[in-house]
Amino acid sequence: MADLVRRRLRLVVGLTALAELVVFVLVAAWIGVGATVLATLATSALGFVLLGRQGTRALTDLRERARTRRSPGAELGNAGLIAVGGLLMVLPGFIGDVVGLLCLLPGTRGLVRRALGRLVLSRLPDRMRGPVRVQSVRTAQMPGDDVPGERRPVIEGEVLGDPHRRP
């Protein structure tokens, strides 16, 4: 299984590098080599600036969530997409710049998150999809309950030793 993943990853990286090279050559033929190199440097600089601004904003949102003890949820996903987008923008290549820009801009980040969510969900086995049902011992019917629907209090604690268990 791990070998298959490695082969697929190598294939994707190789095809992406080839596509980036083809786009670079096409852009160089269209606007010239010098302008293409300058455009590549400019998109890398723009990536650094956007990564700094959006990364600071994402970290501020994460700190605020932690301070108010709320679940980080989307903010944690935003921080990950910003990191990936910044890396793609800083690395040379026009295709990576476009994908990185989609990850960095707040307006398009939601689209990327939804597309990634659909992709991951489509790859999951059927038994791991769909609604998740969780039952809590605090709200579950306890054995020996006389009145259906009536809930008895549950005392949480730690078992330090069992007198019935032999060592």
Does the pLDDT value for residue 162 go beyond 80? no
> What confidence tens digit (pLDDT) does each residue in 115-141 have?
988 888 888 777 676 665 656 555 555
Does the pLDDT value for residue 144 go beyond 60? no
pLDDT at residue 161 in the model: 58
Q: Is residue 138 part of a domain?
A: no
Does the pLDDT value for residue 10 go beyond 70? yes
Q: Is residue 109 part of a domain?
A: yes
Q: Is residue 147 part of a domain?
A: no
Q: Is residue 9 part of a domain?
A: yes
Please state, in angstroms and rounded to a whole number, the distance separating the CA atoms of residues 129 and 132: 8
3-state SS string for 73-129: HHHHHHHHHHHHHHHHHHCCCHHHHHHHHHHHCHHHHHHHHHHHHHHHHHHCCHHHC
What token pair was written down for 38?
């300058």
> What confidence tens digit (pLDDT) does each residue in 23-63 have?
999 999 999 999 999 999 999 998 889 888 888 888 888 88
pTM exceeding 0.75: no
**Residue with tokens 């932690």, as numbered in its chain:** 66
Q: Are the C-beta atoms of 72 and 87 separated by less than 8 Å?
A: no
Query: Which residue range forms the structural domain that includes residue 61?
Result: 2-127
Q: Is residue 135 part of a domain?
A: no
Please state, in angstroms and rounded to a whole number, the distance separating the CA atoms of residues 92 and 85: 13
Q: Is residue 140 part of a domain?
A: no
Q: Is residue 19 part of a domain?
A: yes
Total structural domains within the chain: 1
Q: Is residue 134 part of a domain?
A: no
